[in-house]
Amino acid sequence: MNTLFAANWKMHKTTAEARQTAAELKGLVSGKLKPGREVMILPPFTALAPVAGALGGAANFLLGAQNFYPQKQGAFTGEVSPGMLLDVGVSFALTGHSERRHVLGETDAVVGAKTAFGLESGLGVILCVGEKLDERKAGNLEAVLERQIRAGLAGVPKDIAPERLALAYEPVWAIGTGEVAGPKEILEAHAFVRRMLVEFFGASASEMRILYGGSVKPDNASEIIALDNVDGVLVGGASLKADEFSRIVLA
């Protein structure tokens, strides 16, 4: 399985800025990527096509989307379907990102419906899970992860191709805060996620990627990537500048 370096640009960048950052990143990384690594850019919807153009099908670069609506088409004002994303070259999309859960109010059931529908429609899905600080302090880490994973995977076929589904462990208290989870916390959470994946999918769970996200930076990326059960990183703030993100990708 390839180690994945995913850049979540959230609600940042005009089309011109996105095109320029993607082109710059491609220039900095191409030819230098260690074998078995791949890079994914997840720009806002408006910049998907420009970023696809800037990447120009470069090897080991993927286009991702931050969100979608779990219907084919219809009267869903403001929403975008998986088919529309596939049409502009997207191969993966996030579900369950903490900002969608806690700012936009998505429930576990909505996240589950999106995960199942995205996969059924032909997208790869990165299902994000993670506990809030009060949940961790109350000793509920595993209970929260278990609830989110069970609901997130409820409609996913057991025989799904393992490369099409990734989990991202993103402790909410470490997202955009500069506070990174320590190696022990990451190891424990990722081992728990792996055990849950094995329970759901059996042997193919060992081929599913588990990403870490939460204040990943150039100076902590290589240590995090080296940990057991860490198969990539999902990066927000430090992915916005090509130079900074390239140092994570090449770490």
- Are 42 and 94 in contact, with CB atoms under 8 Å apart? yes
For position 153 contacting ligand PEP by CB under 6 A, the verdict is no
User: What does the alpha-carbon distance between residue 199 and residue 73 come to, in Å, rounded to a whole number?
Assistant: 34
Q: Which residues contact 226 (CB under 8 A, 6 or more apart)?
A: none
User: What does the alpha-carbon distance between residue 247 and residue 24 come to, in Å, rounded to a whole number?
Assistant: 13
> Which of the following is catalytic: 97, 106, 131, 190?
97
Q: Of residues 95, 215, 229, 246, which one binds ligand PEP by CB under 6 A?
A: 215
Give SS3 for 51: helix
For position 171 contacting ligand PEP by CB under 6 A, the verdict is no
Give me the residue whose beta carbon is nearest to ligand PEP.
236
Tell me which stretch binds ligand PEP (CB under 6 A): 33-41, 65-73, 220-228, 236-244.
236-244
Closest CB to ligand PEP among 70 and 236?
Answer: 236
Give SS3 for 226: coil
**Is 102 a catalytic site residue?**
no
User: What does the alpha-carbon distance between residue 161 and residue 245 come to, in Å, rounded to a whole number?
Assistant: 29
> Which of the following is catalytic: 99, 106, 170, 190?
170
Q: Of residues 114, 214, 224, 232, which one binds ligand PEP by CB under 6 A?
A: 214
User: What does the alpha-carbon distance between residue 111 and residue 167 come to, in Å, rounded to a whole number?
Assistant: 13
For position 127 contacting ligand PEP by CB under 6 A, the verdict is no
For position 70 contacting ligand PEP by CB under 6 A, the verdict is no
Q: Of residues 85, 144, 149, 170, which one binds ligand PEP by CB under 6 A?
A: 170
Give SS3 for 15: helix
Compute the residue count for the chain: 251
**Is 170 a catalytic site residue?**
yes
Closest CB to ligand PEP among 6 and 160?
Answer: 6
- Are 209 and 1 in contact, with CB atoms under 8 Å apart? yes
Interacting residue ranges for ligand PEP, rule: CB under 6 A: 8, 170, 175-176, 213-216, 234-238
